[in-house]
Structure 1
Amino acid sequence: MDVKALFYILLLLFTISSAEDVLLNVKGVTNIATTDNNFICATLDWWPENKCDYNQCPWGKAGILNLDLGNRILSNAVKAFNPLRIRLGGSLQDQIIYQFGSHIKRCPNMIKIAGGLFGFSKGCLPQNRWDQVNDFFNKNGVKLTFGLNALIGKNISKVDNKSFLGDWRPANAISLMKYTISKGYKIDSYELGNELCGEGIGARVDSVQYAKDITKLRSIVNRLYPDVTTRPKVVGPAGFYDREWFDTFLHNVRPGVVDGVTHHIYNLGAGVDKELINRVQDPYFLSQIGQTFKDVAVTVRQYTPRAGAWVGEAGGAYNSGGKDVSHTFVNGFWYLDQLGMTATMNHKVYCRQTLIGGNYGLLNTTSFIPNPDYYGALLFNRLMGPKVLSISHEASHYLRTYAHCSKNGPGITVLIINMAKTIFNLSIMNDMNKQMREEYHLTPKDGNIQSDVVLLNGTPLMLTRSLDIPLLKPVLVSSSSPIKVDPQSIVFVQLKGFNAPACV
């Protein structure tokens, strides 16, 4: 036996001996939380191509005003979710007017200007672009949340140059809605304003005033959409959680005004931060944001229990994400952990910033080719149902596990995130399942966690020749063997025969 062969044998023996056996405890009698059936959501933004951070301009033509809606990959990527929830909004939405109504004489292009909110002038959504956007959404199956300009009619405070005072003036929004209704365009929900709560990002609105404004929006929606079966929801405030502001806001709205309480998450720091690559792999850091999710859920339950908590925008790293991290395999440790964690905290929707645009897009900004997180989102969407189950283990904190009733079909699906450089052999307590289980193992190309190519069960996920999303096929494994989870990998496991009364 040569030295090379001996080395590989020794390496194999070491790998086998270093694997850790773990027992998972899934409690399937009752569910602990419930998500919306369309929990997975992605955002589209207003940023023009000259939106730049850290001497880079990663948005290209991904803003909604110049996005190539005829791109076949984009169409197929959206269609694969059947349907995909999309939130159209972002930092610039409170500077957008709509080319509807006789009082709108001009439809200006947005340009960079000194002193403008976020460095840009006011812009306009042309009528023909709204038609094109809705045609795309209708053809490809989209549940749309549209973010309205909440600052129309308000004046900047002379005291702090950040607070906006006065009542929201809804005339332009009403014109948009009336046109939308006349064309038969479907809107799932309207959201008022973007990041105006608490201290605000760029601008702020007082919580009592915001409650008054969103109550006005509710009244308008009820009047224009008299059929409750097709009436859009009203959601807000679309900003970072501030307990005092949120409590005061919700205390000042009547029950039934708000259908979703939306908040934003950028817990990884700046996109340029050198610690970003370490934070997405640090379970202790990733767990810290759990308190915010819990606090939001408690606030919603206390003040408006019929509404649901939504993560309305989450890009991880702010200022367009990290150029060497946010679009790569390793970002999935943060993203899929966020999906699992928020679901257990009774959040109904989770909107990823972005579908396309910036460094954190699910799709590449220029080629439109799906990044690794796209496939993680698609598998979560197809496999994880709305009923969330309790799951626990006593192994490493670098092993994260989440369980739901399966979305389509019997049994449960378990999401496993292994951030460790260790193999885990997992068994499920009291699993009397005799059926073959289905496993989906996601790993990075060549073992490089900063690769933007992901493998499913060892095969690179690539678009087909016709630019379709590839089939996501599981491997069938005997239920008598443990679930082998490779180092730094993500696994979905579907157990159709698992006895979970909550899932019946």
Structure 2
Amino acid sequence: MKIKPFFLSISMLSVLAFSSFAQNSESSTTKTINLKQMSLIGQVDERYQSFNVEMCEVIGGDFWIPYNLIDSVRKVSKKTGFAALKWKIEPINLYEKKLRNLATALGPTYVRVSGTWANAIYFQDNDDIPLANPPAGFKNILTRSQWKGVVDFCKAVDGKLVSSFPISEGVRDKDGNWSPKNVKSIMDYTKSIGGEIVAAEMFNEPSHANHGDAPKGYNGETYAKDFSVFESFVKKEFPAMKILGPGSTGEGGILPSGLDIPIDKILGASPKPTFEVFTYHYYGTVSQRCMGGQKPAMALSNEWLSKTEKGLEFYQNMRDKYMPNTPIWLTETAETACGGNPMAATYIDTFRYLEQLGRLAKKGVQVVMHNTLARSEYALLDHDTHTPRPNYWAALLWNKLMGTQVYDAGTSTNGVDIFTHNLKGKSEGRAVLVVNTNDTVASIEIPSNGKLYLLTADELLSKKVKLNGKELSLTDDDTIPAIKGTSLKKGKIQLPAQSIAFLTFTKI
């Protein structure tokens, strides 16, 4: 899937020259950006764009095998079924300078450390040699040094720590009741080293509890009973920590069947669970690893790009039914579940990434946490080299330009979608994101002089992306290059086919 050679001329021409060069191929309709007529419709958290570092990455464990190694690993592996899609990874080095530099450039953020592996984690609350095996009822071990790495990382990158806690048999008393003992150990140690867990879900994805190390037969009534103990404990011992929940996923016709506990069974149980922030997870489908059928040909379709709104609609309706007006966060999302498709690491997924941020901000979502920072195909960074992928550069531009105030830029139509926020740090200025998924030039009428930050690629499935015609890459010392816009004059501009443009205006 290559962009037509005609449009590659943007890498060699100025924007104004390109406008003249491409005028005969432009879209028949000119979209007008009228900033003065755009009303303020909401505000997002200053850490709206955030990310996950999976608990599995922190402690080392079975995670998704890269596509190029699946066949070779299977030849020597004795695993079958779902387990055969994963392999042992080493713990991530959260002290690596390059990783910290790249994460810092996206700050401020929330850093969520959770995932299925957190559901059966045993916190070894001493500085002894790590246990060879976890105690009965647990599957994984988290050491003090590993958790300190998380806390130190969050401090270094201006990240506020979000997590979840174990729910397995190991945290229960002889009568099967959930006990906060293990959680208190984690919380106390975090505080002792100057850290803070600012928010947490009781555990990861109760919608799939029986696939996520919960006790056999776990249901909505069990959740409600456990949550009552959890809530009382948190409010007494750690009242500053926000309680998030439920963190369910896949409902409303989004993912294939396999649900353990529908959200109605969780929220409708007694005693009724209530959360300070309502959370959900969203994946538009599953990846090829799990027999998903998403193809590059569909990646720029409105059906695919708008599906994130369908996922939100279901959980917003549940929120409105059981706890109206509660803030809503998307605490885990990516291109597809099961580690992402190969195309998640390419330019084509940048459209989904930014459309999702734009669409959800307009719908009232306060925070969006991408999965993951640096592991598997859906990561912002390559998992071996930590080289930025196209989505990372998109995230960097969003963070640099898009403020927290959200404006109504109208309805997305005809493959050219427009999203407007205040210019970051400036209440009077505006930042406009224009996404052109068409294979033709988009004609845009801008209201005043401004600057353009244009993302393009030579191929949709390229792992390289260009800013205003120049390939984006780190400097020789692995730092972020200068990110500069191209000056624009008031009037009509042309944006190339299958391109993404950030436009900034200091005056409206």
Could you say which TM-score interval applies, normalised by the shorter chain? Answer: 0.7 to 0.9
Comparing 363-372 with 387-396, greater Cα deviation is found at 387-396
3-state SS of 2:102 partner: helix
Q: Of the candidates 45, 49, 53, which is equivalent to residue 40 of structure 1?
A: 49
**Residue 16 of structure 1 pairs with residue 23 of structure 2:** yes
**Residue 258 of structure 1 pairs with residue 271 of structure 2:** no
CA drift of 1:284 comes to 2.2
CA drift of 1:40 comes to 0.6
3-state SS of 2:374 partner: coil
Aligned to 1:51: 63
**Residue 107 of structure 1 pairs with residue 131 of structure 2:** yes
Whether the 8 Å CA contact 1:327–1:361 is kept in 2: the answer is yes
**Residue 147 of structure 1 pairs with residue 164 of structure 2:** yes
Whether the 8 Å CA contact 1:22–1:394 is kept in 2: the answer is no
Aligned to 2:6: none
CA drift of 1:368 comes to 0.6
**Residue 196 of structure 1 pairs with residue 196 of structure 2:** no
Shift in CA distance, 376/201, structure 1 to aligned 2, threshold 3 Å: farther
Aligned to 1:184: 194
Give the total of aligned pairs.
455
Q: Of the candidates 282, 291, 297, which is equivalent to residue 310 of structure 2?
A: 291
Matched letter for residue 72 of structure 1: K
CA drift of 1:454 comes to 1.2
**Residue 315 of structure 1 pairs with residue 356 of structure 2:** no
CA drift of 1:257 comes to 4.5
3-state SS of 2:409 partner: strand
Q: Percent identity?
A: 25
Q: Of the candidates 454, 461, 472, which is equivalent to residue 441 of structure 1?
A: 454
3-state SS of 1:51 partner: strand
Per-residue CA distance 1:116-146 (angstroms, 9 max, x = gap): 99xxx81100112212221222122211111
RMSD: 3.3
Aligned to 1:209: 222
Shift in CA distance, 390/168, structure 1 to aligned 2, threshold 3 Å: same
Distance of 2:161 and 2:474 partners within structure 1: 26
Matched letter for residue 169 of structure 1: S
Distance of 1:251 and 1:374 partners within structure 2: 39
Q: Of the candidates 434, 446, 468, which is equivalent to residue 457 of structure 1?
A: 468
Q: Of the candidates 482, 491, 499, which is equivalent to residue 501 of structure 2?
A: 491
Shift in CA distance, 12/252, structure 1 to aligned 2, threshold 3 Å: closer
Whether the 8 Å CA contact 1:250–1:304 is kept in 2: the answer is no
Distance of 1:154 and 1:224 partners within structure 2: 18
Matched letter for residue 143 of structure 2: P
Q: Of the candidates 94, 99, 105, which is equivalent to residue 69 of structure 1?
A: 94
Whether the 8 Å CA contact 2:114–2:163 is kept in 1: the answer is yes
Whether the 8 Å CA contact 2:171–2:181 is kept in 1: the answer is no
CA drift of 1:28 comes to 5.0
CA drift of 1:174 comes to 1.0
Matches for 1:348-359 after TM superposition, within 5 Å: 348-359=366-377
Shift in CA distance, 497/252, structure 1 to aligned 2, threshold 3 Å: farther
Matched letter for residue 489 of structure 1: S
Q: Of the candidates 362, 366, 382, which is equivalent to residue 364 of structure 1?
A: 382
Aligned to 1:170: 180
Matched letter for residue 107 of structure 1: L
Matched letter for residue 108 of structure 2: P
Distance of 1:317 and 1:378 partners within structure 2: 21
Shift in CA distance, 43/109, structure 1 to aligned 2, threshold 3 Å: farther
Whether the 8 Å CA contact 1:200–1:239 is kept in 2: the answer is no
3-state SS of 1:391 partner: coil
Matches for 1:384-423 after TM superposition, within 5 Å: 384-392=402-410, 396=414, 398-409=415-426, 410-423=428-441
Shift in CA distance, 253/339, structure 1 to aligned 2, threshold 3 Å: farther
- Once superposed, which parts of structure 1, at least 4 consecutive aligned residues long, lie more than 6 Å away? 11-14, 57-61, 253-256
Matched letter for residue 236 of structure 1: G
CA drift of 1:263 comes to 1.3
Shift in CA distance, 298/383, structure 1 to aligned 2, threshold 3 Å: farther
CA drift of 1:18 comes to 1.6
Distance of 1:212 and 1:255 partners within structure 2: 9
Distance of 1:197 and 1:142 partners within structure 2: 27
Shift in CA distance, 166/256, structure 1 to aligned 2, threshold 3 Å: closer
Per-residue CA distance 1:94-113 (angstroms, 9 max, x = gap): 121111289x9973468xxx
CA drift of 1:344 comes to 1.5
Give TM-score scaled by structure 1 length.
0.81
3-state SS of 2:306 partner: helix
Shift in CA distance, 257/487, structure 1 to aligned 2, threshold 3 Å: same
Distance of 1:465 and 1:144 partners within structure 2: 31
Distance of 1:60 and 1:136 partners within structure 2: 25
CA drift of 1:345 comes to 1.6
Whether the 8 Å CA contact 2:164–2:202 is kept in 1: the answer is yes
Aligned to 1:501: none
Per-residue CA distance 1:264-287 (angstroms, 9 max, x = gap): 111143235464312321112322
Per-residue CA distance 1:3-34 (angstroms, 9 max, x = gap): xxxxx9xx998832120222346575642233
